[in-house]
Amino acid sequence: MTIRVLIAGEDANYMARIADVMNRATPSTGDTLEISLYTDKNKLINSKDDGKAKYHVAFTDEAFVDVISDWVPVLMLLTEDDNLDNTTDENLPIATYVYKYQRVSGLVNKMLLTQAKKRENEGKGSGTVCAFFSPSGGNGTSTVAVAFAMAAATQGIKPLFVSLELFNSSEYFFSDETNTGLYDVFCAIAGGSGVTAVIDAAKSMDASGVAFLKKFEVWSEVSRITPDEMQSFIKAAQAANDTDIVVLDIGGGLGSFTQSVLDAADEIFIVSETHPIAASKLKSMLDEKDMFASRYIDNTSLIFNRVQGNQSEGYGCKNTTSVPNIGGANPKDVAASAAQYVRGLVNKAWIQKNATI
């Protein structure tokens, strides 16, 4: 991602030095910094009036705050008093104070963390959470979830696909040769900061238009996830750049964090086959006396997979969709073919038109 940084202040020499160093800096997240420098307030006002691209973050001094406050979502105020560092004043439009004469690398690192935290805390660009779940394994939940993400991408909706299954098959759909992935994200969660920034750096883009995160390498990494960690992950994923929807494949069965995912989900999609064993498990889970039905049924759509014809039984779910048995050379081709059958479940209202970053 390119992060557009505004540097504005009266100390022309110091501001120019910051701009020069930042122009040559490459953050550890792999982002690119695009720097604009202003030491003349009138020129800055004119550039604003000209309708030039908005900035993601600004380093400024008190003389320029009034010009920038309604224009840039993250303001970092330079100060010569290092005791103000890490403090904020709720009456001022300032994300944080930064000490003026610290190393520029420190300014860059704090900028990335502050930007990510502000997005997480304020929910800007908050993507819709779509959880795919099955009462048992082997029903093609992953294929249908990928198909749904592909269908969303063809309609201009930007998905972030994440497989949280213990035994993950996402490499059959997406090439995950990146160096970072879900393990790094949950390490950031344990560290307590900058999770969205790590997600932005770790995600890859498939040719189908679906962004995805590399899976956990071993199943034990998934089994250790706590419900609280899962809630933190979902919140951070919702705030990720260019994310309208977060598609979570939690597969079959009940992991320790499953309820956390379902509680956070705006839309739940149950995938099931129609053979007697699958139908029996589905009926049991959707029994009106069961916790799932009483808690989640209003947000749940039912997708019957690998069927002939349409299925009329909806078990009280708000939508029922059928996907036929589809052949293909590989799982990704099958998902691409299945996308047409789940296209109608995609809601264009999920597009985040007003995301600031």
Q: Residue 351 pLDDT > 50, yes or no?
A: yes
Listed residue (213, 176, 197) closest to 29, CA to CA:
197
Whether 77 and 108 map to the same domain: the answer is: yes
Position 158, amino acid: K
Angle subtended by helix axes 227-238 and 104-122, to nearest 10: 100
The enclosing H or E element of 97 equals strand 96-99
Whether 232 and 114 map to the same domain: the answer is: no
Q: Residue 44 pLDDT > 50, yes or no?
A: yes
Which of the four pLDDT bands, split at 50, 70 and 90, describes residue 313? Answer: confident
pLDDT at position 343: 95
Which of the four pLDDT bands, split at 50, 70 and 90, describes residue 255? Answer: low
Range 65-79 average pLDDT: 79
Range 343-349 average pLDDT: 92
Q: Is residue 20 part of a domain?
A: yes
pLDDT at position 239: 87
Whether 133 and 153 map to the same domain: the answer is: yes
Whether 64 and 133 map to the same domain: the answer is: no
Name which of 170-174, 214-218, 276-280, 289-293 the model is least confident about: 289-293
DSSP type of residue 7: E
Cβ neighbours, 10 Å, residue 28:
12
Mean pLDDT of the chain: 83
Quick: pLDDT tens for 208-218.
999 999 988 88
Q: Is residue 291 part of a domain?
A: yes
Q: DSSP characters for 41-75?
A: HHHHHHHHHTTPPPPSEEEE-GGGHHHHTTT-SEE
Q: Is residue 225 part of a domain?
A: yes
Burial 188-212 (b: 16+ CB within 10 A, else e): bbeeeebbbbbbbbbbbebebbbbb
Whether 63 and 10 map to the same domain: the answer is: yes
Q: Is residue 356 part of a domain?
A: no
Q: Determine if residue 123 is left, alpha or beta; phi over 0 gives left, psi from -120 to 50 gives alpha, anything else beta.
A: left
Q: For position 320, which CATH number holds?
A: 3.40.50.300
pLDDT at position 354: 43
Whether 115 and 155 map to the same domain: the answer is: no
Q: Is residue 357 part of a domain?
A: no
Of 90, 122, 154, the one marking the end of a domain is 122
Domain that residue 86 falls in: 2-122
Whether 28 and 141 map to the same domain: the answer is: no
When divided into structural domains, the chain yields a total of 2
Burial class (CB in 10 A: 0-12, 13-18, 19+), 215: buried
Please state the pTM of the whole predicted model: 0.68
Name which of 41-55, 110-124, 143-157 the model is least confident about: 110-124
Range 250-254 average pLDDT: 74
Which of the four pLDDT bands, split at 50, 70 and 90, describes residue 167? Answer: confident
The enclosing H or E element of 8 equals strand 2-8
Q: Residue 265 pLDDT > 80, yes or no?
A: yes
Q: Is residue 355 part of a domain?
A: no
Whether 100 and 211 map to the same domain: the answer is: no
Of 74, 98, 122, the one marking the end of a domain is 122
Percent of the chain with pLDDT over 90: 29
Answer for the pair 269, 300: CB distance below 8 angstroms, yes or no. Answer: yes
Range 197-203 average pLDDT: 86
Alpha-carbon distance of 223 to 233, in angstroms, equals: 15
Q: Is residue 7 part of a domain?
A: yes
Whether 149 and 171 map to the same domain: the answer is: yes
Range 314-323 average pLDDT: 88
Which of the four pLDDT bands, split at 50, 70 and 90, describes residue 355? Answer: very low
Answer for the pair 352, 244: CB distance below 8 angstroms, yes or no. Answer: yes
Whether 233 and 270 map to the same domain: the answer is: yes
pLDDT at position 113: 74
Whether 251 and 324 map to the same domain: the answer is: yes
Q: For position 50, which CATH number holds?
A: 3.40.50.10850
Cβ neighbours, 10 Å, residue 4:
18
Three-class secondary structure assignment of 174-222: CCCCCCCCHHHHHHHHHHCCCHHHHHHHHCEECCCCCEECCCCCCHHHH
The two beta strands, 204-205 and 211-212, are antiparallel
Residues in the chain: 357
Of 87, 122, 157, the one marking the end of a domain is 122
Answer for the pair 7, 25: CB distance below 8 angstroms, yes or no. Answer: no
Q: Which position has the higher pLDDT, 139 or 290?
A: 139
Whether 113 and 215 map to the same domain: the answer is: no
Q: Is residue 28 part of a domain?
A: yes
